[in-house]
C-alpha cells in the first residue's frame, strides 16, 4: 500500500508540475483582475486557529481563506474541508487537494502553513511538500510559516530544557512530534529558506532560531455567536459544592494528566473538598459548556507553555493553572497575565491553596478575561499582524 501511495502521489506531483507553467501565465492575468482582493490562504493541519487567524487577517483587507484536507472532531469550522467536499472519499479528496493547490498558485498572494505541511501531502514525514515549496518560490507567492508544537519539537532539545518536559513520560517517540534532532533541524532549515517569514512563540522559540516571536498568534473570536460562545461565567465564591477542576487532556502524557489525577486523589483522601472533571474527545462547542462549570481550569504541568485551551478558559472568566517554564520569555506581557504558575512538585499544595482561598478566584477569572480581551482578540492579533506585515513590506 505504501508503494502504491508513493507512486500515486508521485504521478500527481508530475502532473501538477507540468501544469505550473500555464498556471504562471494565468496568474499574471488573474492577479491583475483580483489585485484589489489580495487573496491569502491559510492551510496545513486542521488546527482551530487556522480558521480564526484567517478571519483576523480579513480585518486587514485581505480576502483570506482557510483550506484543510480533513478535519478533527474538535472543529470543522474552516472555509473549505476537502474531505467533506469529497464525502470522505480519500482519492477524490487527494485530487481536490492538488486542484486547490493549482488554484492557489494562480490567484494567491501569500500562503500560511506549518513546517510539517500545507495543502499537499509530502513524501517525507512531517515536512512540507517539495513541490509546494518550489512552486510558491517560483511563482513569487509569499510563504508564511507558523509553528504549533509537534511540528518542531525534538526530543534532544526538549530534554535539554530540564525536568519536567513533554518528553518525560512520552511513549510515542518518533510518532507524536518530529522528535529526531537531525530530521527536525533539516525540515526547519528547508522551510526557513523558502519562507518570507517564520513565526513562533512560547516554548516553540527554543526550536526555531531566527523566527519572529512577538505575534502570539492564537487569537479568539470573542464576537462569535453574538458573543455567546465566550460569554464569561466567573467562579462562584460559594463553598456549597466541591472545588471543581476541569482539564481537557488531548494528550495525557504530554499534559501531565496523571500528576493532576494523583494530586486530586490525595487531597480527596485527606478530606479536601475538591473534584476533577476530564473533557476528552468532544467537539469544541460541547467542551466549552463543560468549561463553564469549572471553578479552575488546569491546562498542563509538563510542556512549560500554555495552550489555546488556557486562553479559551480565561475568555470564559476561569482561573487557569499551568506550568510556565520562563514567564518573562514565553508570555505576552507577563506582568498582566493571571495564569497560576504551577509545577509537578507543588501541584498538590497549589490546589489545596485554591480551595482555602476560594474567594479570590472570581478576581483571577476577571483578570483573565480582561487579559484575553486586551491581547488575544481578533482585533489585537490583527494589529500585531499588521505591524509584522509593515516590517516585511507587505502593507
Three-class secondary structure assignment of the chain: CHHHHHHHHHHHHHHHHHHHHHHHHHHHHHHHHCCCCCEEEECCCCCHHHHHHHHHHHCCCCEEEEEECCCCCCCCCCCEEHHHHCCCCHHHHHHHHHHHHHHHHHHCCEEEEECCECCCCCCCCCCCCHHHHHHHHHHCCEEEEECCCCCCCEHHHHHHCCCCCCCCCCCCCCCCCCECHHHHHHHHHHHHHHCCEEECCHHHHHHCCCCECCCCCCCECCCHHHHCCCCCCCCCCCCCCCEEEEECCCCHHHHCHHHHHHHHHHHHHCCCCEEEEECCCCCHHHHHHHHHCCCEEECCCCCCCCCHHHHHHHHCCCCEEECCCCHHHHCCCHHHCCCEECCCCCHHHHHHHHHHCHHHHHHHHHHHHHHHHHHCEHHHHHHHHHHHHHHCCCC
- Res 35: pLDDT: 66
**Residue 60 near residue 388 (C-beta atoms within 8 A):** no
**Same domain (yes/no): 230, 173:** no
- Res 30: pLDDT: 80
- Res 206: pLDDT: 97
281 upstream amide cis, omega within 30 of 0? no
**Same domain (yes/no): 317, 279:** yes
Residue with cell 472543529: 75
**Same domain (yes/no): 235, 259:** yes
- Res 3: pLDDT: 59
Q: Mind listing the pLDDT tens digit of every residue in the chain (395 residues)?
A: 565 666 677 888 899 999 998 888 888 888 777 666 799 999 999 999 999 999 999 999 999 999 999 998 778 889 999 999 999 898 999 999 999 999 999 999 999 999 999 999 988 888 999 999 999 999 999 999 999 999 999 999 999 999 999 998 888 888 889 999 999 999 999 999 999 999 999 999 999 999 999 999 999 999 999 999 999 999 987 778 899 999 998 778 889 999 999 999 999 999 999 999 999 888 888 899 999 999 999 999 999 999 999 999 999 999 999 999 999 999 999 999 999 999 999 999 999 999 999 999 999 999 999 999 999 999 999 999 999 999 999 98
**Same domain (yes/no): 311, 351:** yes
- Res 36: pLDDT: 67
**Distance from C-alpha of 186 to C-alpha of 193, rounded to nearest angstrom:** 11
**Residue 24 near residue 95 (C-beta atoms within 8 A):** no
**Distance from C-alpha of 154 to C-alpha of 326, rounded to nearest angstrom:** 19
Kindly report the CATH number assigned to the domain that includes residue 244.
3.40.50.2000
- Cβ-based neighbours of 52, under 8 Å, separated by 6 or more: 219, 220, 221, 378
* pTM given for the model: 0.93
The domain of 144 spans 2-219+378-391
**Same domain (yes/no): 320, 305:** yes
**Same domain (yes/no): 261, 172:** no
- Res 309: pLDDT: 94
**Same domain (yes/no): 196, 280:** no
**Same domain (yes/no): 139, 64:** yes
**Same domain (yes/no): 319, 213:** no
**Same domain (yes/no): 44, 145:** yes
- Res 2: pLDDT: 66
Nearest 5°: phi and psi at 166? Answer: -75, -5
Kindly report the CATH number assigned to the domain that includes residue 68.
3.40.50
**Same domain (yes/no): 242, 296:** yes
**Same domain (yes/no): 8, 108:** yes
Residues facing 202 on adjacent strands? none
Number of domains forming the structure of the chain:
2
Cell numbers at 195, concatenated = 519562507
HSE on the CB side for 275, CA within 13 Å? 10
Amino acid at each position: 500500500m505504501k508503494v502504491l501511495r508513493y507512486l500515486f502521489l508521485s504521478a500527481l506531483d508530475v502532473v501538477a508540475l507540468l501544469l505550473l507553467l500555464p498556471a504562471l501565465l494565468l496568474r499574471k492575468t488573474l492577479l491583475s483582475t483580483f489585485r484589489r482582493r489580495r487573496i491569502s490562504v491559510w492551510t496545513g493541519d486542521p488546527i482551530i486557529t487556522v480558521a480564526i487567524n484567517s478571519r483576523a487577517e480579513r480585518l486587514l483587507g485581505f480576502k483570506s481563506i482557510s483550506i484543510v484536507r480533513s478535519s478533527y472532531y474538535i472543529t470543522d469550522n474552516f472555509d473549505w474541508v476537502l474531505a467533506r467536499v469529497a464525502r470522505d472519499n480519500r482519492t477524490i479528496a487527494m485530487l481536490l487537494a492538488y486542484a486547490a493547490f493549482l488554484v492557489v498558485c494562480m490567484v494567491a498572494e501569500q500562503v500560511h502553513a506549518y513546517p510539517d505541511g500545507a495543502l499537499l501531502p509530502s513524501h517525507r514525514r512531517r515536512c512540507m511538500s517539495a513541490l509546494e515549496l518550489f512552486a510558491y518560490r517560483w511563482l513569487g507567492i509569499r510563504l508564511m510559516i507558523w509553528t504549533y508544537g509537534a511540528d518542531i519539537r525534538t526530543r534532544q532539545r526538549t530534554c535539554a530544557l530540564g525536568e519536567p518536559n513533554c518528553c518525560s513520560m512520552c511513549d510515542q517517540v518518533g510518532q507524536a512530534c518530529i522528535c529526531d534532532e537531525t530530521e527536525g533541524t533539516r525540515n526547519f532549515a528547508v522551510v526557513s529558506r523558502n519562507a518570507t517569514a517564520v513565526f513562533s512563540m512560547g516554548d516553540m522559540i527554543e526550536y526555531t532560531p531566527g523566527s519572529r516571536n512577538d505575534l502570539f498568534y492564537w487569537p479568539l473570536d470573542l464576537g462569535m455567536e453574538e458573543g455567546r460562545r465566550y460569554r464569561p461565567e466567573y467562579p462562584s465564591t460559594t463553598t456549597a459544592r466541591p472545588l471543581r477542576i476541569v482539564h481537557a487532556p488531548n494528550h495525557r502524557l504530554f499534559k501531565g494528566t496523571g500528576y493532576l489525577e494523583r494530586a486530586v486523589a490525595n487531597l480527596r483522601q485527606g478530606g479536601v473538598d475538591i473534584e476533577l472533571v476530564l473533557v476528552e474527545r468532544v467537539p469544541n462547542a460541547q467542551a466549552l459548556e463543560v468549561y463553564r462549570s469549572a471553578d479552575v481550569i488546569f491546562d498542563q504541568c509538563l510542556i512549560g507553555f500554555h495552550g489555546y485551551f488556557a486562553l479559551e478558559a480565561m475568555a470564559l472568566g476561569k482561573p487557569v493553572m499551568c506550568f510556565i517554564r520562563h514567564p518573562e520569555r514565553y508570555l505576552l506581557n507577563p506582568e498582566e497575565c493571571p495564569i497560576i504558575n504551577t509545577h509537578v512538585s507543588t501541584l498538590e499544595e497549589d490546589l489545596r491553596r485554591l480551595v482555602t482561598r476560594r474567594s479570590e478566584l472570581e478576581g483571577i477569572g476577571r483578570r483573565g478575561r480582561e487579559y484575553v480581551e486586551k491581547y488575544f482578540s481578533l482585533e489585537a492579533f490583527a494589529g500585531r499582524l499588521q505591524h509584522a506585515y509593515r516590517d516585511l513590506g507587505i502593507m
